Structure 1
């Protein structure tokens, strides 16, 4: 939700459902994405696709 990439590891930069709101969720999500990219680069034949976008009405029209 943030307009700045520098805040990607901050909880308030994400639209989180109540059951996802816990300390460290943003950091864990970013680490998961980075690991996926690392594995993709290591295994050149692997196809990796990260799909994100508006999945909840309250999140607003963002992608």
Structure 2
């Protein structure tokens, strides 16, 4: 293999490693499950931030 071939191989490996790192970081941010709006409303109700009526209204809007 010529020097040019080694350079191309090295560049290809660098690009591949960069793609793997980018994909890993992108997926790592999405691994946490997002809470539903109803779960957030339930937490707010438990903390006393909203009334029972507001919580029940949110449940009705969610169809649950």
Q: Which structure shows the bigger proportion of residues in helix conformation?
A: 2
Normalised TM-score (structure 2) = 0.35
Normalised TM-score (structure 1) = 0.35
Larger radius of gyration: 2
